[in-house]
Amino acid sequence: MSTPTSPEIDVATIMGGLYGDGFIACKGAFTRDWVQQLGADIAVLFDEAKRQPGGALPRGPERYYVEIHPERLRGFQDILTHPWFQAVCAAVLGPDYKVVEIGFDVPGPGAMMQPWHRDFKSPDATLTGRRLNSLAFNMTTVDVNEQMGPLEIAPGTQWDDFAAMGGGNDPMFPEAALWPRYAARRQRKMPQMGDVSARSALTVHRGTANVSDRARPVLVVGVDAPDGGNAAKHDVQLTRAYRDAMPEALLRHVHYRLVDRLEPIVQAHTIEGLLMGAPG
């Protein structure tokens, strides 16, 4: 992996980006060789998940999410020790941040445009307290282009209260009245291998249609502040052997269930509003 330059780990830059646009990125955080290894691990895990009942959670036509065991990724500890990852987590979430989710999204060829949405209901800490208490980090395993269904975000919308803005009472999916707001603000993200992004999962976004002949796998690492509350949706497991070999300085930043043997993950974070793609 590589070390980011000092402007990228400036606390003011980090806070300004995530409290402003709700999205920041570190270009070239990891080497392409490291990302190829990540992609190989994900390919194996995706194949396994598709053979396991409930292993690959649908997020729309030809689009899947798979939650995984950290120790099945050879680069898991590289992520936890990367200076930019650590700086972003500490700046926004405080010194007691914890990884509560690790998985990957795979929008394959034929994946449809998603509706505008956020990944979960906005907590009171954000909606009324104006504080972010969770982050999602994304790492693409391919060089993304326009045809591969890149992510679109609507900057600054992590603070939106849909009901108060006339966008309906669904806490995750705004009604059509607000769609022009998000379409006018949209930014299309096309990361390259080695890039890492951090965003508030509350920033309104959507995956676009994958009209290429290649899948676009992306690793997802969810991190919470102490009051984030997202660990209940996930099942991060560590075996005793892996836990015992892991440095305590890293272990303290992982919310996990200790197991003697890795168990199949029963995924709890279904997003029904994504299953049919964008309406209309």
- Stretch 243-256: mean pLDDT: 98
pLDDT value at position 270?
A: 59
Domain boundaries, the chain: 21-259
pLDDT attached to residue 280: 44
Measured distance CA(146)–CA(90) in Å, rounded: 33
**pLDDT at 211 (0 to 100):** 98
Task: For 108-242, list the strands marked E by DSSP.
Answer: 134-140, 151-153, 187-189, 196-199, 205-207, 218-224, 237-239
For the whole model, what pTM was predicted? 0.94
Interval 56-68: pLDDT, tens: 888 889 999 999 9
Cα separation of 162 and 172, whole Å?
A: 9
**81: which strand partners?**
none
Class of domain 21-259: mainly beta
Name the token pair of 59. 């997020």
Does 137 have pLDDT greater than 80? yes
Angstrom distance (rounded) from CA 141 to CA 158: 26
pLDDT, tens digit, 9 for 90 and up, residues 32-90: 999 999 999 999 999 999 998 888 888 889 999 999 999 999 999 999 999 999 999 99
The average confidence (pLDDT) of the chain is 93
pLDDT at position 268 = 60
